[in-house]
Amino acid sequence: MGTSQLTRRRFVQWGTAAAGATALVGFTGCASQSDDELSQTGGDAAEETGTWLTGACMNNCSCGSSRCLLKVYVEDGVPLKIRTDEEDEDSIEVPQRRACPRGRAQIGNMMSPARIKYPMKRKGWSPDNPNGEMRGRDEWERISWDEALDYIAAEMKKAYDTWGPKSILAAAYSDIGDTYFDQVICLLNAKGGAMHHELGTVSLGSWPVPEIMMTGGMLAAPDSLSIQDSELHFHFGNNWMANKGGNTAYQLDYAKREGGKVIIVEPWLNQTAQAVADEWVPIIPGTDTAFCIGMMYHMIENDLQDQDFLDKYCVGFDAEHMPEGADPKDNFKDYVLGTHDGEPKTPEWAEAICGVPAADIRRLAEEIASTEKVNFFAGQSTTKIPAGEMFAQAFYTLAMMHGGLGTPGNYASWVGLAEGMSAAPFCMAGDSSSGELNPVNPLKPPALSSVPLFSEMEDPTAWENIDYSECWQSILDGAYGRDVWPGGKHPLDIHVIYCGGYENSLNSMPNANAAIKAFRKVDFVWGANPFFDPSRQYCDIVLPVATWWEKGNIAWMNNSDTVYWADRIMEPLFESQPESYIAEELAKRLDVDPKVVNAQTDAERTYSSLAGAAYLTDRNAMGYAPLLTISQSDIDELGVEGAPQEGLMTVAEFKEKGFFKIPRTKGDALSSLPWAAFYEDPEANPLPTSTGKFEIYSMGLAATVNSLGFSTLSPIAKWQIADPEQGAGTQTDEFPLLLWTPHSLRRAHTVNDNVVSLREAFPQECFMSTVDAEARGIKTGDLVLMTSPHGQVLRPAKVLPTIVPGAVALQDGAWIRIDEETGIDLGGDPNILQAPKSSGQGSQSWTGTLVQVEKYDGPLTLDPDKNTPIVMPVGIEE
């Protein structure tokens, strides 16, 4: 069937059928195709009668390279083909923003049979009898928008009037930028707020507070051109080719081709290590701290550290350079040498913990010390361990011992590459730095990296944020926090859960079995989303939300060096509505001014995005300039109020091209030297740390973390068993293996797990080493039961000789599919297994969850992922 024959009506009809899932494979396009190739993916290019639009990929793959360029061919309102960036000849100065398989499969995502088509109500729910135990099991019935909104408004009003705003959990993104896509959060704020699960971090691991306290918060990351200055790239936990799927691996490979050596320390020989690394160092998950300390012992023992740098710019390395008031015996050097505790942290000591041979530890330490310019990088997940701040401390200490931190070629960063574009937030919510309540969430006081600074709060008991990792168990227990908090643990009485803002919380946070119990416990659960994912499966009422492609008409930043124009690719399918409609309609029913919850019209929002698009002109001064020239005729065409401005290109040029990339040259104003003034005169230009220097010994870091009560941290980097039930050193006969959860090209976190072509290309498997598999009689393809203290998952095994023995991997984000008879998850979500452990600054500490893997011989079976039915609402007759 040629493309001209597939009308919008027929396309929508096709999308309503579950059988359409298989057909999606044929609709995922490729980049840089010839006309002949294009004819194989939907029609001869010479016969095209439609339009190519810009549809930036909105996956949140990872900072630095997400949201790549998509060009979508649309005919008769139907998206049929996808291309990606072909505009420029690919170069390190102006790279193509090529989409990975996740981006190229977006037609399959947007048109997935998992789309929620119309408002639905669970048959067993009524206002008088929630029948919560049937959530996730019940059948569904179609209802009208007015019915759904009336039900939701009544339940929300009941909760606010009876129990107050703390009775509502907003399981939805609530930071400033995301409120553009979920104005329901603005509605909740207008009604007095809601509880959020935002204490600590998810993506960032345990990095933010150590970076701030040890270095003053300046980012020592290379930009895409400066990375080539480094002679050695020493990376912990890097798999950019799967995590980001964009240009970062290309830029690292370029730096290698320019003469740099790449070493990757990682539990498995992943895609990036295979393609780019000169050396792979296999390590037991969660033991990077001991590995670094072992290397630093060898450096100290052989006087390989940059002592001049340490003496002049750092505090805490040795007894002679401790901060005022600190016990000289607590310095880092004496800890490593075992001067006072009688335990030298030798390479042999480290080998027993991390599995890296002592000879390799010595060799690598010498290679670091003998190389003038070293780029240290650590993936965010390396600190997703109990007291993960310990590794952050060790990582920065290693870089400081090498010397030259932040000078050309010498970097230490956990964000990969620093870039230079920006676009203004679309829903400004004010400034929370004044000490008043945070305007985004009135229940949440100002925070440093989502960490409550109780000592700076007028009323410390006002902190009302549940930490991510323990959220579900806290709801079940009726309390959260720690006894050491001012006033002790905080009571928690949740009656309503809202699942929105594209967040799939039930699926995305640890101890998902407890999440299911929490969802079944409360009085009312409602969700709004384009897709019927696990979070929406356990609701009482769900609303269909328009996707990114169905909203569009906005300038969108790439998070690096590109700003896109996102066209509206297609009209909302079925009965989908944007979140702004939902928020306004609920506002009317809750006696709130709709303009409060949605302050801008679509045209005003388009104008704000265009006027706010900016590019970074000087990284060190954080100087920005407008990107676009906006004429009065542009403003008049939109029908809004605004002021003309001068920029680098016109609005018409920007829309026609679909994007703008800032051309880079080596050594330009975007190249970063974050501590140049400090190095020139440390006394006159101190760092914004407590001592004005780099802090190897950081009392502020320890005090901040320890005040939360999640774990006990030393002011210096140490190896310790921070949790007796999790991580290396705590394995038992019942649970002898350590779990870690790498990213998959099948998904961006949980997004895209409804796309059949990606499910076929990247099956969800239990990765395990040959050693562990042979001991259990397991071969590739065998069904294995993965068991932890928190749940069970059934998956096919993938046996590899390139995984460190003693550890198993299950890639993050797979959609939960519980077998109600056994309680086993057939979807393969690692959060069914992962420990609900908050640690340090409230960070998740999931890496190193204890598990057992056994060959499965029970009654359950698994079809290939491409054939496995996506969970659909039962009871709806099409």
Q: Where are the domains of the chain?
A: 144-203+434-530+576-598, 208-408, 737-867
Residue-level pLDDT at 85: 87
- Cβ within 8 Å of residue 621, ≥6 positions away: none
**pLDDT beyond 60 at 687:** yes
Of 117-121, 263-267, 295-299, 436-440, minimum mean pLDDT range: 436-440
Residue-level pLDDT at 177: 41
Residue-level pLDDT at 142: 97
**Nearest partner of 15 among 504, 582, 531, 759, judged by Cα:** 531
Residue-level pLDDT at 37: 36
- DSSP string covering 637-687, please? HHT-----B--SEEHHHHHHH-EEE----TTSTTS--TTHHHHH-TTTS--
pLDDT tens digits, one per residue of 216-249: 988 788 888 889 999 999 999 999 888 877 678 8
CATH class of the domain defined by 144-203+434-530+576-598: alpha beta
| Tokens linked to 416 | 């990969």
Residue-level pLDDT at 877: 63
Q: Residue 452: pLDDT band by 50, 70, 90 thresholds?
A: confident
C-beta of residue 372 within 8 angstroms of C-beta of residue 231: yes
| Tokens linked to 83 | 């291309």
**Choice between 175 and 52, residue whose per-residue pLDDT is larger:** 52
**pLDDT beyond 90 at 165:** yes
pLDDT tens digits, one per residue of 794-833: 999 999 999 999 999 999 999 999 999 999 999 999 999 9
Residue-level pLDDT at 559: 52
CA dist., res. 742 & res. 809, Å (int): 7
Q: Rounded mean pLDDT of 510-521?
A: 97
What percent of the chain is predicted at pLDDT more than 70? 88
pLDDT tens digits, one per residue of 718-767: 999 999 999 999 999 999 999 999 999 999 888 899 999 999 999 999 99
Of 273-282, 388-397, 524-533, 557-566, minimum mean pLDDT range: 557-566
- Cβ within 8 Å of residue 836, ≥6 positions away: 469, 470, 472, 473, 510, 511, 514, 790
Q: Residue 10: pLDDT band by 50, 70, 90 thresholds?
A: very low
**Nearest partner of 553 among 570, 533, 540, 538, judged by Cα:** 570
Of 59-68, 184-193, 453-462, 844-853, minimum mean pLDDT range: 59-68
| Tokens linked to 278 | 């000169």
Residue-level pLDDT at 680: 95
CA dist., res. 839 & res. 722, Å (int): 9
Q: Rounded mean pLDDT of 840-864?
A: 94
| Residues pairing with 171 in the sheet | 499
CATH number for the domain formed by residue range(s) 208-408: 3.40.228.10
Kindly calculate the radius of gyration of the chain based on its CA atoms and give it in whole angstroms: 27
**pLDDT beyond 70 at 23:** no
Residue-level pLDDT at 441: 46
pLDDT tens digits, one per residue of 608-641: 889 988 887 876 676 788 899 999 999 999 999 9
| Residues pairing with 740 in the sheet | 809
**pLDDT beyond 90 at 646:** yes
- DSSP string covering 393-440, please? HHHHHHHHHH--TTSTT-EEESSS-B--EEE--SS-----TTSS--SS
Q: Rounded mean pLDDT of 42-52?
A: 71
CA 590 distance to own-chain centroid: 34
Residues for the chain: how many in total? 878
Instruction: Tell the residue number behind the tokens 């920065």, with chain if given.
Output: 396
**pLDDT beyond 80 at 875:** no
Mean pLDDT computed over every residue of the chain = 87
Residue-level pLDDT at 181: 59
**Choice between 772 and 177, residue whose per-residue pLDDT is larger:** 772
737-867 under CATH 2.40.40.20, yes or no = yes
C-beta of residue 391 within 8 angstroms of C-beta of residue 196: no
Residue-level pLDDT at 65: 45
**pLDDT beyond 50 at 14:** no
Task: Choose from 398-407, 560-569, 747-756 the range with maximum mean pLDDT.
Answer: 398-407
**Choice between 544 and 179, residue whose per-residue pLDDT is larger:** 544
C-beta of residue 500 within 8 angstroms of C-beta of residue 578: no
| Tokens linked to 275 | 């393609």
C-beta of residue 529 within 8 angstroms of C-beta of residue 192: no
**Conformation bin of residue 416: beta by default, left when phi > 0, alpha when psi is -120 to 50:** left
Q: Residue 653: pLDDT band by 50, 70, 90 thresholds?
A: very high
CA dist., res. 829 & res. 867, Å (int): 17
**Choice between 781 and 2, residue whose per-residue pLDDT is larger:** 781
C-beta of residue 716 within 8 angstroms of C-beta of residue 696: yes
**pLDDT beyond 90 at 45:** no
Q: Rounded mean pLDDT of 449-458?
A: 76
pLDDT tens digits, one per residue of 171-189: 987 643 433 458 898 899 8
**pLDDT beyond 70 at 69:** yes
Residue-level pLDDT at 876: 74
**pLDDT beyond 70 at 425:** no
Residue-level pLDDT at 2: 34
pLDDT tens digits, one per residue of 496-515: 999 997 789 999 999 999 99
pLDDT tens digits, one per residue of 337-394: 999 999 999 999 999 999 999 999 999 999 999 999 999 999 999 999 999 999 999 9
- Cβ within 8 Å of residue 209, ≥6 positions away: 389, 448, 449, 451, 701, 704, 705, 840, 841
**Choice between 245 and 517, residue whose per-residue pLDDT is larger:** 517
Q: Rounded mean pLDDT of 155-164?
A: 97
**Choice between 9 and 20, residue whose per-residue pLDDT is larger:** 9
